[in-house]
Amino acid sequence: MSTTPRVSVDGEPVYTPEVARRTAAVLERVRRVVPEMEWPVHAPYVDAIRDWKARRNAVILAHNYQTPEIFYGVADITGDSLALARRAAETDADVIVMAGVHFMAETAKILSPEKTVLIPDLEAGCSLAESITGADVRLLRERYPDAPVVTYVNTSADVKAESDVCCTSANAVEVVESLAARRVIFLPDEYLGRYVASRTTTEIILWKGHCEVHERFTGEEIEVYRKQHTDIAVLAHPECPPDVLAASDFVGSTSGLIRHVEERRPAKVVLITECSMSDNVAVQFPEVEFIRPCNLCPHMKRITLPNILRSLQKMEHRVEIEPEVTARARTAVERMLAVGRGAGR
């Protein structure tokens, strides 16, 4: 823990030469995507959060859709939703702060029930997770009693508990085929389900859940990018509508998109997903030019440096799940892990 006193005004950290010095390495790393004139606003929180992490023996998990000052400034573990939960379970930390949305915090709690899991804003939700309930799953089971339920990790603990197995966008086809069933119920993302159906002979029973970020992209938009940039590589997330996937050069999960950029190093690329991810990936690959189709997730953007700091200071908001729900949901997640080590959303 740092012994250097932190300066504050009305309880909020302030920018000082010492703060500038302690955060200089972060600024240097994110300079390409965070304007230097903004750094005096971010740096005091980055500095104070680091101090409070040490006090609480805490780790911060940041999803790929978080802003760079969070992703590179305070996060200990970064990645897609399932990778975050899995790696958090391996840490010795007492406290996990989820810089992501609520279902991600629940998944972390499912895999680490003995740890304190905090989410800085209880309103950081997800249109996919909110599109279906455990009661809906039970009704689907009654309607299709012979069909096992495959549930995307982008769901609540209650829905996971009613499922046979979870999946990620990277391993969805593998999970479906591992069941060797004539048909399966695939929840809740319709577009991801259609993508899976195009790659397997298993009949897929769909639910009409959509990601409010990815569903806004269109095939016409992709064609505009191609006309404006003839040498562009178009990489899309499978939560996008079918016409977007058909117009793209590569389809993959967030980790799959990053891996594709790393392996191919296209001169110019557009990631058809939440736009903060482009900022974060651009830091890793400065030689690649990123065209940013800025569809922001309003829920992810509820997580900020100030509320991460308050979360650590006040130990709020704690994620709690009924033990019986945790046990059943954990079974569905562990069945997925037994199928393969695919990365998540």
Looking at the domain assignment, is residue 130 inside a domain? Answer: no
Question: Could you give the C-alpha distances from 248 to 113, 245, 252, in angstroms and in order?
Answer: 40, 5, 11
Of residues 293 and 109, more confidently modeled: 109
Mean pLDDT, the chain, whole residue set: 94
116 phi and psi, to 5 degrees? -85, 120
**Number of domains the chain is built from:** 3
- The confidence band for 3, taking pLDDT boundaries of 50, 70 and 90, is very low
Question: Could you give the C-alpha distances from 13 to 26, 37, 40, 317, in angstroms and in order?
Answer: 17, 17, 11, 21
* Other CB atoms within 10 A of residue 220 CB: 10
Of 193, 171, 191, 206, the closest CA to residue 336 belongs to 171
**Residue type for position 20:** A
Q: Does the structure show a pLDDT above 60 at 302? A: yes
Percent of the chain, pLDDT > 90? 87
Token pair for residue 302? 């509820």
Residues 19 and 98 in one domain: yes
Q: What is the DSSP string of 259-284?
A: HHHHHH--SEEEEES-HHHHHHHHHH
Q: What is the DSSP string of 54-71?
A: HHHTEEEEEETTS-HHHH
- The confidence band for 178, taking pLDDT boundaries of 50, 70 and 90, is very high
**Residue type for position 101:** V
User: Rounded to the nearest 5 degrees, what angle is found at the Cα of 345, between the Cα atoms of 25 and 256?
Assistant: 75
CB burial readout 143-163, b (16+ within 10 A) else e:
eeeebbbbbbbbbbbbbbbbb
Q: Does the structure show a pLDDT above 80 at 340? A: no
Q: Does the structure show a pLDDT above 70 at 47? A: yes
Distance CA 257, CA 245 (A): 13
187 phi and psi, to 5 degrees? -130, 155
Residues 287 and 260 in one domain: yes
Distance CA 235, CA 249 (A): 6
Radius of gyration of the chain (CA): 21
- Per-residue confidence (pLDDT) for residue 170, from 0 to 100: 86
CB 252 within 8 A of CB 260: yes
Alpha helices in the chain (DSSP H): 17-22, 24-30, 39-56, 68-71, 81-89, 102-111, 134-143, 157-161, 172-178, 190-197, 219-228, 242-246, 254-264, 275-284, 305-314, 323-339
Token pair for residue 15? 């920018």
Residues 158 and 26 in one domain: no
Average pLDDT over residues 251-257: 93
Residues 221 and 328 in one domain: no
Looking at the domain assignment, is residue 132 inside a domain? Answer: no
* Other CB atoms within 10 A of residue 263 CB: 7
Residues 108 and 188 in one domain: no
Residues 18 and 58 in one domain: yes
**Residue type for position 45:** Y
* Per-residue pLDDT tens over the stretch 209-238: 999 999 999 999 999 999 999 899 999 999
Token pair for residue 138? 């039970």
Q: Does the structure show a pLDDT above 50 at 342? A: no
- Per-residue confidence (pLDDT) for residue 55, from 0 to 100: 98
Parent domain of 159: 138-204+322-339
What are 61's strand-pairing partners?
Answer: 77, 98
3-class DSSP state for residue 155?
coil
* Other CB atoms within 10 A of residue 96 CB: 27
- Per-residue confidence (pLDDT) for residue 293, from 0 to 100: 79
Residues 330 and 199 in one domain: yes
Residues 17 and 120 in one domain: yes
- Per-residue confidence (pLDDT) for residue 53, from 0 to 100: 98
Residues 99 and 148 in one domain: no
- Per-residue confidence (pLDDT) for residue 5, from 0 to 100: 53
> CATH number, domain at 181?
3.40.50.10800
Residues 105 and 239 in one domain: no
Asked which of 75-84, 278-287, 317-326 is least confident by mean pLDDT, the reply is 75-84
Burial grade of 226 (CB within 10 A; 0-12, 13-18, 19 or more)? middle
* Per-residue pLDDT tens over the stretch 315-332: 999 999 999 999 999 999
Q: Does the structure show a pLDDT above 60 at 301? A: yes
Given the structure tokens 């950290």, which residue do they identify?
A: 13
Looking at the domain assignment, is residue 345 inside a domain? Answer: no
- Per-residue confidence (pLDDT) for residue 180, from 0 to 100: 95
Q: Does the structure show a pLDDT above 50 at 172? A: yes
Looking at the domain assignment, is residue 209 inside a domain? Answer: no
